[in-house]
Structure 1
């Protein structure tokens, strides 16, 4: 009983401390100690093994995915410094116009994140540009936050196949699948998230117009708007797209070539490269991101003058997101050592429900506990995924459904991405979280459940022998 109360107390304290802006390293360590002390775990073992270096340790995760975070941050930095990301955003803005401000925000963020630009770079790029659009359209900022979150933090993060997102890579590296696993169901879920999300924010905008609610400027807007100056220095949008095409092309081309010919039968160099790409879900997308970064250096003269410095800044930028994610995984690694988590795992595996619904429930709960979709997905893959494979769920389907499910209840108020996004845009939870909750929690949950319903109706996902 005390152990279960300790688990609840540790979770509640983590949420409280995150909302108060307390450093996630300090918060996760304190909460891990609360869980350990109330569950009879040795403090020394908790601090020196379970939290840092266990199977779900913070630094175990950081070491495994350091390369991907590093390469992703470098690519994001060169796209921002060269103003290629800004050029793409401006081109789409001019094409769609002010009347479609919400659609502009969603489309640009989706394009940039699917192309490999990290979420926080996208937010920093889009917000200064969005201020002008919001002012001209008289759009409430809370709806801009929601629209950009649809594009940057939902379907491109978990559902669309081929993306170099950490969620896609975690699932592929754990299950032995590739980045395109469960592609068709991922596309279906992405359409649901994008369609329902845009319908909701447009509906909310109509309601806001009727009540006279509009854009309200604050000091944060004035500071951020200055970052949108010097747009004449941005490269042509077609050229700006090239590095993203290089990233996605590098990831997708081996899959296409393997599908057109049986390269595995030969001993050619091309065949070996293709097989290597299929077997390396961390290294291959990291290489694609570096190729995209080098393409930026070749194409954009202003970047060539200080390429080494920009690469170094990108490397620096990768550390905090990596360690923030690792910290919540370290907390989760302590939680998984408790009897309460073992009872939960046993219960969720034995409860009388279809296996795919059980996957959804287990991933959602774990992601909610740690307030991180990548953290929740990593914990699920290390602790529960093998049991679902034994039930007969196909690895490709488990890959995609688990990834989509991780992107639902993760976005509760203590989610680090939610807190950072609101902080960047100068808003509070009271002002904007309701709309964020709908587009990043409710609608992704609906998309996942509909995807599961489609799979169950088609009899896909579970081997007929089970």
Structure 2
């Protein structure tokens, strides 16, 4: 009983401290200690093994995925410094117009994140541009936060095949699949997320116009707006999309070639390279991201002049997202050592549910506990995924359904991405979380359940 109360207390404390702005490293460690002390775990083992270096330790995760975070951050920095990301945003804005401000925000964020730019870079890049759009359209900021989150934090993060997102890579590296696993069902879920998400925010905007709610500027907006710079400095959009095309092309072309040509018995260098691309779900996307960053340096003179500085800043920018995610996983690593987590695993696996609904339940709950979709997915893959494979769930379907499920209940109030988005925009949970909950929790849950229902109707598992 005490152990279970300790688990609940640790989770409640983690949520409380995250909402109060306490550093996640400190919060996760303190909450891990609460869990350990109430569950009879030895402190030396907790602090020196379970939290940092166990199978789900913080630095076990950080070591495994360091390369991907590093290369993703460097590519994001290159796209931001060269103003290629801004160029793409401006081009879409000119094409769709201010009346389509919400659609602009969603499409630009979706395009950038699917192309390999990390979520935090996208949000930070888009918000200064969004201020002008929101002011002209008299759009409430809470709806801009929701629309950009639809694009950056839902379907491109977990559902669409081929993306070098951390969720796609975690699933592929754990299950031995590739980044395109379960692609068609992922596209089905993505259409639901994008369609319902945009319907929700557009409906919210219509209601806001009726009630007279509009854009309210604050001091944060004035500071962020200074980051826009001169629009004339941005490269043509046709050039700006080339680095993203290089990233996606590097990931997708080998898959296409393997589907066309049988290279299983070939011994030449080309065949070896194709086989390497299919068996390295961490290294190959990282190579693609580096090639994208180098492409920025080749085609944008402003980047070429400060290549070392940009790569160095990108490397620095990768550290905190990596460590913050790792810290959440370290907390989860302690939780998984408790009897309470074992009881949860036994309970969820013993439920009289179809296997895919059980996958949804377990992946969702674990992600909710740690407030991180990537952290929850990694814990799920290490602890529960083998049981579902034994039940007969195919690795490809498990890859995609677990990834989509992890991106629902993760976005509770203590989610780091939610907190960072609100911080960048200078708004509070009270002002904007209702809309964020609708598009990043409720709608992804609906999409995942709809995907599972379709699979069950088709008799696929």
Give 1:318 deviation, angstroms: 0.2
**What is the distance in 1 between the residues matched to 2:172 and 2:313?**
29
Give 1:176 deviation, angstroms: 0.1
Give 1:127 deviation, angstroms: 0.5
The gaps in structure 1 that reach 5 residues or longer are: 462-466
SS in structure 2 of the partner of residue 162 of structure 1: coil
**What is the distance in 2 between the residues matched to 1:81 and 1:191?**
32
**1:29 corresponding residue in structure 2:** 29
**2:335 corresponding residue in structure 1:** 335
**2:128 corresponding residue in structure 1:** 128
**What is the distance in 1 between the residues matched to 2:368 and 2:124?**
26
SS in structure 2 of the partner of residue 48 of structure 1: helix
1:57 aligns with 2:57: yes
**What is the distance in 2 between the residues matched to 1:96 and 1:275?**
42
Cα deviation code 1:23-46 (max 9, x no counterpart): 111111110000000000000100
Cα deviation code 1:26-70 (max 9, x no counterpart): 111110000000000000100000000000000000000000000
Give 1:151 deviation, angstroms: 0.1
Preserved contact between residue 407 and residue 444 of structure 1 (Cα < 8 Å): yes
Preserved contact between residue 153 and residue 440 of structure 1 (Cα < 8 Å): yes
Give 1:265 deviation, angstroms: 1.7
SS in structure 2 of the partner of residue 333 of structure 1: helix
Q: RMSD in angstroms over aligned alpha carbons? A: 0.4
**What is the distance in 1 between the residues matched to 2:281 and 2:128?**
34
Preserved contact between residue 264 and residue 272 of structure 1 (Cα < 8 Å): no
**What is the distance in 2 between the residues matched to 1:75 and 1:229?**
20
Give 1:404 deviation, angstroms: 0.1
SS in structure 2 of the partner of residue 227 of structure 1: coil
**What is the distance in 1 between the residues matched to 2:375 and 2:109?**
22
Give 1:452 deviation, angstroms: 0.1
Q: What's the TM-score once normalised by structure 1's chain length?
A: 0.99
**What is the distance in 2 between the residues matched to 1:186 and 1:238?**
28
**1:192 corresponding residue in structure 2:** 192
**What is the distance in 2 between the residues matched to 1:127 and 1:31?**
33
The gaps in structure 2 that reach 5 residues or longer are: none
List structure 1 segments (4+ residues) > 4 angstroms apart after TM superposition: none
SS in structure 1 of the partner of residue 226 of structure 2: helix
Preserved contact between residue 189 and residue 451 of structure 1 (Cα < 8 Å): yes
1:262 aligns with 2:250: no
**2:301 corresponding residue in structure 1:** 301
**What is the distance in 2 between the residues matched to 1:187 and 1:196?**
14
**What is the distance in 2 between the residues matched to 1:410 and 1:382?**
18
**2:222 corresponding residue in structure 1:** 222
1:48 aligns with 2:48: yes
**1:412 corresponding residue in structure 2:** 412
Q: What's the TM-score once normalised by structure 2's chain length?
A: 1.00
Give 1:136 deviation, angstroms: 0.7
SS in structure 1 of the partner of residue 310 of structure 2: helix
SS in structure 1 of the partner of residue 34 of structure 2: helix
SS in structure 2 of the partner of residue 263 of structure 1: coil
1:356 aligns with 2:353: no
Cα deviation code 1:279-329 (max 9, x no counterpart): 000000000000000000000001111100110000000000000000000
**What is the distance in 2 between the residues matched to 1:445 and 1:92?**
29
Size of the alignment, in residue pairs? 461
**2:385 corresponding residue in structure 1:** 385
- Range moving further from structure 2, 243-252 or 115-124: 115-124
The within-5 A match list for 1:28-427 is 28-427=28-427
Give 1:187 deviation, angstroms: 0.2
SS in structure 1 of the partner of residue 241 of structure 2: helix
**What is the distance in 2 between the residues matched to 1:223 and 1:3?**
47
**What is the distance in 2 between the residues matched to 1:346 and 1:208?**
47
**1:464 corresponding residue in structure 2:** none
**What is the distance in 1 between the residues matched to 2:315 and 2:231?**
26
Give 1:229 deviation, angstroms: 2.1
